[in-house]
Copies of this chain bind each other. A is one copy, B any other.
Amino acid sequence: MKLKVYADRMSQPSRAIIIFCKVNGIQFDEILINLAKRQQLSPEFKDINPLGKVPAVVDGRLKLFESHAILIYLASAFPSVADHWYPNDLSKRAKIHSVLDWHHTNLRPGAAGFVVNSVLAPFLGRALNLQAAAEAERLLTKSLASLETFWLKGDAKFLLGSNQPSIADLSLVCELMQLQVLDEKDRLRLLSPHKKVEEWIENTRKATMPHFDVVHETLFGAKDKFQKQREMGTISKPGLQSKM
């Protein structure tokens, strides 16, 4: 029975799983769980993941959620996956676990916290929260500095001094790609002080093409939509001022 991937391409860990499967020739059926329609809370999906989060996969009798756990499982269970994605070497593997764990409590809450609280919240049925966005921005900025000065070592193209991507590169880069829905000035303000991070995003994109761009089309569609809304807002501002 083919692997089933329950995902919404607007979710960054969902994108990581889909790109990983495509790059590694893993056959799968993609089932859309539309977060804007709150389908992750439907009884049908809660039978897959009772905690109501995407992505989730079903492989035979195994139902699994949490994207890092899924990436590790797929890399271990499917023989088509090359070793560099999740090395057998214990020390290399340990370092990948370390950066994935760090991601959970640093880059992820920083990036997702900033994007959700400053842009996406209304589309998820919540209010914008600028104080939470400011706190998340501090964590994001600190995390980007740790990536630039520690995790991206020397001249290597990928995390941990590697010249080939691992599941950690894919997971963390997909996290950062969500910054695309920000106003371009905000995105550049956050990212452009970190040249190695910018190069690493591009290296990971190139290493997973054409799938990387194809799977991010949904995100780029959202980026255009938000940008148009901002431009309409910008156009109306002078009008508002002229009324004052």
A51 to B98, CA, bound (A): 12
Number of copies: 2
Please tell me if the beta carbons of B66 and A102 are within 8 angstroms of each other in the complex: yes
A101 to B101, CA, bound (A): 8
Q: Which residue of B lies closest to A101 (CB)?
A: B66
Residue A50 is within 8 A (CB to CB) of chain B in the complex: yes
A94 to B86, CA, bound (A): 14
A76 to B86, CA, bound (A): 15
Q: How large is the interface on A (under 10, 10 to 19, 20 to 34, 35 or more residues)?
A: 20 to 34
Residue A242 is within 8 A (CB to CB) of chain B in the complex: no
What's the nearest-Cβ distance from chain B to residue A127, in Å? 15
What's the nearest-Cβ distance from chain B to residue A33, in Å? 17
Q: Which residues of B contact A123 (CB under 8 A)?
A: none
Identify which of B50, B65, B101, B150 contacts A104 (C-beta below 8 A).
Answer: B101
Contacts from A to B (Cβ < 8 Å): 50-51, 61-62, 64-70, 72-73, 76-77, 90-91, 93-95, 97-98, 100-102, 104-105, 108-109, 146, 150
